[in-house]
Amino acid sequence: MNKKRVLITGGAGFLGSHLCDRFLKEGYYVIAMDNLITGNIKNIEHLMHRDDFEYFHGDVSNYVHVPGKLDYILHFASPASPIDYLKMPIQTLKVGSLGTHNCLGLARAKGARILVASTSEVYGDPTVHPQDESYWGNVNPIGPRGVYDEAKRFQEAITMAYHTYHKLETRIVRIFNTYGPRMRLNDGRALPAFLGQALRGEDLTVFGDGSQTRSFCFMDDLIEGIYRLLLSDYPYPVNIGNPDEISIKEFAEEIIKLTNSNQKIIYKPLPQDDPMQRQPNITKAKEILGWEPKISREEGLKITYEYFKSQL
Ligand code: UDP
């Protein structure tokens, strides 16, 4: 009865479901909400029998009603891969804007602290490298990625406005590329695409010449960073990601090696506005949260590979 209660939107998604696990482990009462457009009930099936967990089907872009007290809200609902938000541009814009507004209103009504999931996409195709939190970004508002990037930028703006105007306790995490079990094999992102292709015996599709870079963080590290940020007293955006940067071509080669497959790399056109480089500067996370990633890409990829094998 005295447990702290946390609402997790997108609770059946890749990150949302891992957050459910983590908060239950820490002794919280967890309420997961999802409309399952990209989430999967299988990700939280193992929690359904628990009396400290509940799930309800709902769309946070509409009015949200949650009975009882709430101590924390984590807003993680959103399509999060380029092909998903291209398929669902309006829903992506709505969940980042209206969905965030609803969560902020709910947090205010309940006197809860809220953490919103922002993204390295607020930096767009960055002209500053590595990216630190003071960089304003380079985003094309009307390009194909604009629906996600601008929704998340609006999310940050309205979250700060609730903080300054309503004195709401708010936290903003800027999440860089993250991977791990419970990603969807068909979500179109580089890692599931490459692992899926290797497992099916298909060639790996690298977009462009593969010289664009990303920095991949294993989800356990990310969840730890988010947990620490929520419990900190820092209201401004904090990058959470792994600074270990790699080109997409080298990444595809790593996956061919890991999966022991004889597949080749084939090259496809680079999608419009695809960022050329991305690497988090995590000085702030280190200083404020005492956080840095601990799991190497080699280790994390092995775990993720085993997961995808079990899914096929
Ligand atoms: N990418 C690729 N082949 C694929 C899927 C993605 O070469 O089958 C590239 C994509 O163009 C981008 C990088 O891999 O440069 C990371 O893409 P992802 O969709 O994983 O994430 P984001 O672009 O949002 O960082």
Q: How far is the CA of 278 from the centre of ligand 1 (A)?
A: 11
Q: How far is the CA of 132 from the centre of ligand 1 (A)?
A: 21
What pLDDT does residue 261 have? Answer: 86
- At 209, the pLDDT band (50, 70, 90 cuts) reads very high
pLDDT digits (tens, 9 = 90+) for 270-312: 999 999 999 999 999 999 999 999 999 999 999 999 999 998 8
Q: How far is the CA of 164 from the centre of ligand 1 (A)?
A: 36
- Closest-CA residue, ligand 1 atom 23, reads 274
- Closest-CA residue, ligand 1 atom 18, reads 189
Determine the Cα–Cα distance for residues 216 and 301; give it in Å rounded to an integer: 10
**Contacts for 134 with CB less than 8 Å, ≥ 6 apart:** none
| Binding pocket residue ranges, ligand 1, CB within 6 Å | 81-82, 177, 189-190, 193, 205-207, 212, 214, 248, 271, 274
Q: How far is the CA of 189 from the centre of ligand 1 (A)?
A: 5
pLDDT digits (tens, 9 = 90+) for 46-85: 999 999 999 999 999 998 999 999 999 999 999 999 999 9
The first and second tokens of residue 32, run together, are 């997961």
Residues in the chain: 312
83 CA: nearest ligand 1 atom: 19
204 CA: nearest ligand 1 atom: 8
CA dihedral for 12, 15, 19, 21, sign (positive or negative): positive
pLDDT digits (tens, 9 = 90+) for 79-107: 999 999 999 999 999 999 999 999 999 99
- Short-list 106, 102, 99, 52, CA closest to 79: 99
Region 10-30: mean pLDDT is 98
Region 211-234: mean pLDDT is 98
**Contacts for 147 with CB less than 8 Å, ≥ 6 apart:** 85, 89, 90, 92, 93
Determine the Cα–Cα distance for residues 98 and 78; give it in Å rounded to an integer: 12
Region 160-164: mean pLDDT is 98
CB 208 within 8 A of CB 265: no
CB 82 within 8 A of CB 189: yes
Parse the chain into domains and list their residue ranges.
5-181+217-243+276-294
* Active-site option among 29, 148, 227, 305: 148
191 CA: nearest ligand 1 atom: 20
- Closest-CA residue, ligand 1 atom 19, reads 189
Q: State the virtual CA torsion across 199, 200, 205, 211 in degrees, nearest 10.
A: 10
For tokens 């406005």, name the residue.
161
pLDDT digits (tens, 9 = 90+) for 167-191: 999 999 999 999 999 999 989 999 9
The first and second tokens of residue 275, run together, are 């960022």
What pLDDT does residue 311 have? Answer: 87
The first and second tokens of residue 62, run together, are 């509409």
Mean pLDDT of all residues in the chain?
Answer: 97
Which superfamily, per CATH, for 5-181+217-243+276-294?
NAD(P)-binding Rossmann-like Domain (3.40.50.720)
48: helix, strand or coil: coil
- Reply yes or no on whether 148 is catalytic: yes
Region 8-15: mean pLDDT is 98
Determine the Cα–Cα distance for residues 293 and 291; give it in Å rounded to an integer: 7
What pLDDT does residue 161 have? Answer: 98
What pLDDT does residue 174 have? Answer: 98
Ligand 1 pocket test target in 83, 187, 242, 274 with most atoms within 8 Å of CB: 274
Q: How far is the CA of 115 from the centre of ligand 1 (A)?
A: 27
Burial 191-229 (b: 16+ CB within 10 A, else e): bbbbbbbbbeeeebebeeebebbbbbbbbbbbbbbbbbb
Determine the Cα–Cα distance for residues 182 and 302; give it in Å rounded to an integer: 14
